[in-house]
Amino acid sequence: MRQPINTKKLIEKIEKFANDISSEKGPFILFGLFQREKLINSWDLVICASWLKLHDFNVLKYIENKLRYYIEEDERLSIGRLVTISQDNPWISEVLAIPKNKKGITELRNSELFGHNMRQAFIIKSQ
């Protein structure tokens, strides 16, 4: 069984990663890490952006390859899924309506998001 990762360090690295991608490609509508209740040591990296084409293998490969420069192997293994969501997805407006932390990243615990119970979520970028 894998050892738990340092979540704070992972979030800091993912934030730098998000900043780098947004400076290259454009702003995100939503960028965050979400941990579903039933998956204790696994995160979903959820991305929504107007420049993002859903199901585009090249974009997914770009994100995956770039991510390797920011996080260690054990941290990468803790990200179980890379999820791209359309800006028209009805769940997006629900997440964007969550009050933002004015100092940066918004952390949520024990919430229902995207139709799933989330143990923890970090909204790193949102409009």
Q: What is the CATH number of the domain that holds 110?
A: 3.30.300
Joined together, the tokens standing for residue 111 give 């919430």
- Is 61 part of a structural domain of the chain? yes
Q: Residue 2 pLDDT > 70, yes or no?
A: no
Burial class (CB in 10 A: 0-12, 13-18, 19+), 111: middle
Distance (Å) of CA 55 to CA 52, 58, 91, 94: 9, 9, 18, 22
Computed over every residue of the chain, the mean pLDDT equals 90
Per-residue confidence (pLDDT) for residue 30, from 0 to 100: 94
Query: Residue-wise over 13-51: b if at least 16 C-beta within 10 A, else e?
Result: bbbebbeebeeeeeebbbbbbbbbeeeeeebbbbbbbee
Q: Which domain holds residue 80?
A: 7-126
Does residue 2 belong to any structural domain of this protein?
Answer: no
Tens-digit pLDDT profile for residues 26-68: 999 999 999 999 887 899 999 999 999 888 889 889 999 999 9
- Number of domain units in the chain: 1
Q: Confidence band (pLDDT; 50, 70, 90) for 1?
A: low
Residue 1, domain member (yes or no): no
CA gap 81, 26 in Å, rounded: 22
